[in-house]
Amino acid sequence: MERNARAAKDGHPPPPYLLFLGDVPLQPMAKTAAGLLQWRPELCVGKLTLPGCAVEMDIPEMTPKEAVGAGAKTLVIAVVNPGGTLPDAWIPALVEALEAGLNIASGAHVSLSVFPDLKDTAARLDRTLYDVRLPKMTFDVGDGVKRAGKRILTVGTDCVVGKKYTALALEKALRERGVDADFRATGQTGILIARRGVAIDAVTSDFISGAAEWLSPANAPDHWDVIEGQGSLYHPSFAGVTLGLIHGSQPDALIVCHEPIRRQLLSLPYPIPPLKEFMKTNLDAARLTNPNAIIAGMSLNTSKMSAQSAEEAVVAMEQETGLPCCDPIRHGAGKIADHLISVLA
């Protein structure tokens, strides 16, 4: 039973999911829950909140026993917490979930098994603790060798501008057009959505490009990997992860993700980079491992804008760049998919 008390060595958390929202005070802290409900609602049966939770989600509140009765197999810790760990106040609810018959999945930086109550309860009841963010294998360093297949990578002018949603929307649009396309997840939420992938920010820095090569291996010439970007080359905290991902992805095309009304980087007093400068820097980086890389579209996050302002921003961006532009949530990603097919197929 000890095997089950550790983070699983292989496989992924079995759905359906009970989404644990804890007592977090801010809606943006529930981005994992939001992503699962947006892209895989059929996998989610309910939510579990604690007193003080300020997150609103259109899904029934359930106790762990009720969730098991509704078919749930895994409680997913679907919120982020400052410091990347689990507050002591959450542990009793998580133990209750294990006792009710649920496994637990977490995208935190710390392993679930470091909490004795969770480890011991999981071992006693033969439940599994899934550390989604922590790599379950080692990677080689990247070698930059050209490999078959097509690869699309989303890159952002900042963090949290829609790189994951853009990649998912683009996968959907390409498949609707008969293209053999797969979303390749590089973060914990994406992994829960796709049920595969690697959290690239948890990989030792020397091996990030190698992990990206593993994530999107050689494939059939007509197969497309749509790779979720991370961070930004212009974010002082996360540019290293972004650069390794760009080199290892060996992208044929980059899709630029941008929030038109954002003027400053999240969490740091740095301005959003000038768009043309940003595009050139990213393209130069991509052409190290793929000299033929191009920028093939602009994805705008207009979630904080009115419908009219969003439409005006799309038109202005297309005029500025000469590239197809859309908000993939408001409009779908069909316009960018059509352009990709025309230039790469």
Q: Using one digit for the tens of pLDDT, what is the confidence trace for 42-59?
A: 999 999 999 999 999 999
Query: Tell me: the pLDDT tens digits for 265-310?
Result: 988 999 999 999 999 999 999 999 999 999 999 999 999 999 999 9
Q: Mean of the pLDDT values across residues 308-337?
A: 97
Give the pair of three-digit tokens for residue 336. Answer: 């960018």
Coil vs helix vs strand at 2: helix
Query: Tell me: the pLDDT tens digits for 159-201?
Result: 999 999 999 999 999 999 999 999 999 999 999 999 899 999 9
How far from 210 is each of 131, 143, 153, 285, CA to CA, in Å?
Answer: 21, 7, 16, 16
pTM of the model: 0.90
For 150-344, give the CATH class. Answer: alpha beta
Domains 2-131 and 150-344 share a fold: yes
Q: How far apart are the first and last CA of the chain?
A: 50
What is the rounded CA–CA span in Å between residue 332 and residue 334?
6
What is the rounded CA–CA span in Å between residue 294 and residue 321?
13
Give the CATH architecture of domain 2-131: 3-Layer(aba) Sandwich (3.40)
Q: Which of 169, 181, 153 is nearest to 249 (CA)?
A: 153
Q: Where along the chain do its domains lie?
A: 2-131, 150-344
**Mean pLDDT value across the chain:** 93
The DSSP output letter for 122 is H
Question: Which stretches within 198-252 are classed as H helix?
Answer: 208-215, 239-249
